[in-house]
Amino acid sequence: MKFIVSSIQLLKSLQSISGVLNASNTLPILDDFLFDLKGDQLVITASDLDTTVRVNVPLSRAEEEGAVTIPARILMETLKTFPEVPLQFTIDTTSKVVEIMAGEGKFKLAGHNAEEFPQTPVMEETSTVVVASEVIAKAISKTIFATGTDDFRQAMTGVFCQWSPEDLVFVGTDAHKLVRYRRTDAKSDNAASFILPKKPLNQLKNLLSHTESDVTVEYNQANAAFSFENIHLVCRLIDGRYPNYEAVIPKENPNKLLVERIPFLNSLKRVAIYANQSTHQVRVKVTGQEMVLSAEDIDFANEAKERLNCHYEGEDMEIGFNSKFLVEMVSNLDTNEITLEMSEPNRAGILLPVNNENPSEDILMLVMPVMLAQY
């Protein structure tokens, strides 16, 4: 098994899929990349059993088909030291010895049996949707931060996808905050819903940042696959029932606050520094056309208060929020102005962008209030 490949091209390809590798694995073979040479095509695969990513790497020359796994760490560390040079790989498929030649340098390392590497799941009885890469990348970035980390509520650790002939909807929630991201310019022929895990979504988001190609999404009851350019990612879906997120979104919110996003965000960040470091509570008090943000940490005698101009319709309101959640959500909106809709101090607040440039994009963020400490 022999081939010649660009050092930079190979390193970039390995880096693009290396995010799947775990720091420690129960199966030693998962510390390796699978190199599979078929004709003049080199396909490299990384896997953690739940997620498998493969990339096609262009070659200058190829001889003798074969497959072997190569330890990822030592290979990538070696490649990082090279400038742009052609590398000649010669692999003995019997002994699994991998020999790399570059100029005057010669390097040998022990590969392993490719048959021990986990098989990529075979997708059967799938539905297929073609989606613009920008839509999927944005949907991931707008929802993934709101997902939970509690393994006892496995369904909430992923992003819920609800696809139909009308739109594609993506939802992330951890029961304290919720984001619903809808696109009406992307549709599925069949109605379907499934939960995508966080790790492959982060991997996918990184990969999509380098492409403008459309993404072919295939899915069935067990797995979802994403294909674009020279990349193919397959992940196992989270098995579980997603909570009825629509039921927690308050429909009647008569108190509407309009504020400039950046000044509001900066004020929040400043005031939050003085909040109690366990509750992160920030108090939002709205009277007339003025909003006051305040926080206090009694244990350290820290206190902050800041006034902001706003446009407000509704009754005077005083409500508490976890500042970390509020900052995270406001940071993930893009418009110059945002609306905070409220009904009662003990009911969720709804954050909405104002004058979104893309009419096909609908984003709603919900944040649960915290009980106000009296001071």
Give the per-residue pLDDT at 103: 85
Q: What single string gives the DSSP state of each residue in 195-208?
A: EE-HHHHHHHHHHH
3-state secondary structure of 263: helix
Residue 278 predicted with pLDDT over 60? yes
Give the β-pairing of 86-91 and 311-313: unpaired
Q: Partners of 296 in the beta sheet?
A: 303
Mean pLDDT, rounded, for 29-43: 95
Instruction: Indicate whether 151 pLDDT > 70.
Output: yes
The domain over range 127-246 is classified in CATH as 1.10.3720.10: no
- Residue 322 to residue 373: CA distance in whole angstroms: 12
- Give Cβ neighbours of residue 270 (< 8 Å, ≥ 6 apart): 304, 306
Res 256: pLDDT: 96
Give yes or no for residue 271 having a pLDDT over 60: yes
Distances (CA, A) of 282 to 104, 316, 361: 63, 17, 30
pLDDT value of position 373 = 63
pTM tops 0.75, yes or no: yes
What is the DSSP annotation of 314-364? SS-EEEEEEHHHHHHHHHT--SSEEEEEES-TTS-EEEEEES-S-TTEEEE
Q: In what order do the strands lie in the sheet with 311-313?
A: 192-196, 159-163, 168-173, 177-183, 361-367, 349-354, 337-342, 255-260, 311-313
265, 277, 298, 290: which is closest to 373 by C-alpha?
298
Hey, what are 41's tokens? Answer: 């095509």
- Among residues of the chain, what percentage have pLDDT more than 90? 91
Q: Write down the CATH superfamily of domain 2-116.
A: DNA Polymerase III, subunit A, domain 2 (3.10.150.10)
- Residue 375 scores a pLDDT above 60: no
Contacts (Cβ under 8 Å, ≥6 apart) of 77: none
DSSP secondary structure letter of residue 121: P
- Per-residue pLDDT for 328 more than 80? yes
The per-residue pLDDT for range 169-195, each reduced to its tens digit, is 999 999 999 999 999 999 999 999 999
- The DSSP call for residue 112 is B
- Coil vs helix vs strand at 73: helix
> Is there a common fold for 127-246 and 250-370?
yes
Q: Where are the domains positioned within the chain?
A: 2-116, 127-246, 250-370
Q: Which two tokens mark 204? A: 């996918």
pLDDT for residue 210: 86
342-373 tens-digit pLDDT: 999 999 999 999 999 999 999 999 999 998 76
Percent of the chain with pLDDT over 70: 99
Q: For residues 288 and 365, which has the higher predicted lDDT (pLDDT)?
A: 365
> Quick one: angle between helices 7-17 and 72-79, nearest 10?
140
CA max distance for the chain = 80
pLDDT in the model for residue 26: 86
Structure tokens at 102: 């570059």
Residue 19 buriedness (CB in 10 A; 0-12 / 13-18 / 19+): middle
Homologous superfamily of 250-370: DNA Polymerase III, subunit A, domain 2 (3.10.150.10)
Q: Is the pLDDT of residue 291 over 80?
A: yes
Q: For the chain, what is the mean pLDDT? A: 95
Q: Residue 314, by phi and psi: left (phi above 0), alpha (psi -120 to 50) or beta?
A: left
**CA–CA dist 240, 245 (Å, integer):** 14
What's the pLDDT at 374? 58
274 in Cβ contact with 296 (< 8 Å): yes
Tell me: the pLDDT tens digits for 53-79?
999 999 999 999 999 999 999 999 999
Tell me: pLDDT of 144 over 70: yes
